[in-house]
Structure 1
Amino acid sequence: MKKIKAVLFDMDGVIFDTERVYLETWRKIFKKYGYDMSDDVYISVMGRGRKNVIKKFLELYGENLPITQMYEEKDKELKKAVESGQIAIKEGAKEILEFLKERGYRIALATSAKIERANIQFRNTDIKEDFDVMVYGDDVVKAKPDPEIFLKAAKKLCVNPEDCIVIEDSAAGIEGAYKAKMIGIHVEDLKKADNDILKYCHKSFENLLDIKEYLSKNIDR
């Protein structure tokens, strides 16, 4: 922990309180088409990128699931939610970003979200300027838990992977950080820390303020 030079953040469920809105949107669309969407099913695909989500849904619900049409409806509903300001910044996000900037750490966003949606979410905030680089789902071939997005962010920051912390809420993100040889810190959102997370993460915390407090005592600058 003492040699850390950069901190990489996921976006959904870490910087923005999006996952609950996404879950309710998916639940409504699935119900419209005669299917049930449980919390566990949604949590199992969090952070894994659209291709992997589609593959998982088709495995669970069958090849007749009209997933293309459902995704189109989901995208429209989520765009409305984002543009109408329903997506709040997570508690502690501003504080931890300010803490890291003041101490000279490099900061990156590493999100599976597409750049268009990410830009909409950041539009009404003043925190985008706190990030030195941003890497989106559009920028990578392989989604989390593949480490590609984290390695690309580290390269853009000009730091070694082993000198990076990754803050993630999903099991896929934590596994991806581990595969990138980075220090994965889990923050609870919809997903509580279970064995799939604990075996890959350095530590798990309830919120970003607790992570900020931990970092203040365990990293030098």
Structure 2
Amino acid sequence: MKEIEAVLFDMDGVIFDTERIYLEIWTNIFNKYGYKMTKDVYVTVMGRGRENVIKTFVDIYGDNLPIMKMYDEKDELLLQIIDSGEVPIKPGAIEILKSLKKNGYKVALATSAKRNRLDKQLKIGNIKNIFDAIVCGDDVTKSKPNPEIFLDAAKKLSVSPKKCIVIEDSPAGIRAAYNANMVGLHVEDLKKSDEEIKKYCNRSFGNLFEIKEYLKI
């Protein structure tokens, strides 16, 4: 940590326990239209942004998939759940964020989520002011595993990429951190550590408390 100045966080699956809710919503919507969504399919699109998610689903399920209508339903249901306060903050998130700030590190949020959902979740979680910079899906043109979102966050913090740690749960996010020449730490959520994640991350952890202990903050 002597050479580290900033820690960049993904949001879904890292700060908020959103991915499980996403999977449940998508599973129900796919069932409604006569298709089957599986966890293995869903983890391939985590953190990759709307356009990539749509392309992947169409590639898997075919051109007849009414994906735009399904996406609108997903967005509406997710916002209803967020508004009702049913998306909890992940265990250890508040603790690691506060410890980093206390010890003088800059923290940023770098998420593929759109700004309207991002703002809702941060407001309900009452944690928006803790971040020194926020970059969301509306701010970038290329989705993870492209490193654009992390490089933009580092630029906002005025910190060299080599002095940044990224905490991510998705394979795409870990690849993006690697491509940004940053230190990638994987935290397990829906996606457990596998050979691809191990190849591109510096280390994988079971939860944020383990990362906090590892960073000695």
TM-score by length of 1: 0.97
Tell me the SS of whatever aligns to 2:59. helix
Is 1:56 aligned to residue 56 of structure 2?
yes
The offset of 1:2, in angstroms, is 2.6
The offset of 1:195, in angstroms, is 0.8
The residue type equivalent to 2:138 in the other structure is D
Stretches of structure 1 that go unaligned for 5 or more consecutive residues are: none
Is 1:65 aligned to residue 65 of structure 2?
yes
Is 1:41 aligned to residue 17 of structure 2?
no
The residue type equivalent to 1:24 in the other structure is E
4+ residue segments displaced more than 4 Å: none
TM-score by length of 2: 0.99
Give the whole-Å Cα distance in 1 for the aligned partners of 2:37 and 2:125. Answer: 31
The offset of 1:147, in angstroms, is 0.1
The residue type equivalent to 1:188 in the other structure is E
Cross-structure match for 1:200: 200
The offset of 1:205, in angstroms, is 0.4
Cross-structure match for 1:119: 119
1:17-48 CA-partner distances (Å, limit 9, x unpaired): 00000000000000000000000000111000
Give the whole-Å Cα distance in 1 for the aligned partners of 2:109 and 2:84. Answer: 23
Give the whole-Å Cα distance in 1 for the aligned partners of 2:111 and 2:123. Answer: 16
Give the whole-Å Cα distance in 2 for the aligned partners of 1:137 and 1:209. Answer: 27
CA RMSD of aligned residues (A): 0.7
Cross-structure match for 1:102: 102
* 14-23 or 118-127: bigger deviation: 118-127
The offset of 1:125, in angstroms, is 2.0
Give the whole-Å Cα distance in 2 for the aligned partners of 1:128 and 1:187. Answer: 21
Tell me the SS of whatever aligns to 1:124. helix
Tell me the SS of whatever aligns to 2:63. coil
The offset of 1:128, in angstroms, is 1.4
Give the whole-Å Cα distance in 2 for the aligned partners of 1:94 and 1:161. Answer: 24
Identity value in percent: 63
Cross-structure match for 2:148: 148
Give the whole-Å Cα distance in 2 for the aligned partners of 1:3 and 1:96. Answer: 18
The offset of 1:122, in angstroms, is 1.1
Tell me the SS of whatever aligns to 1:199. helix
The offset of 1:123, in angstroms, is 1.4
Cross-structure match for 2:23: 23
Give the whole-Å Cα distance in 1 for the aligned partners of 2:124 and 2:97. Answer: 17
Is 1:166 aligned to residue 166 of structure 2?
yes
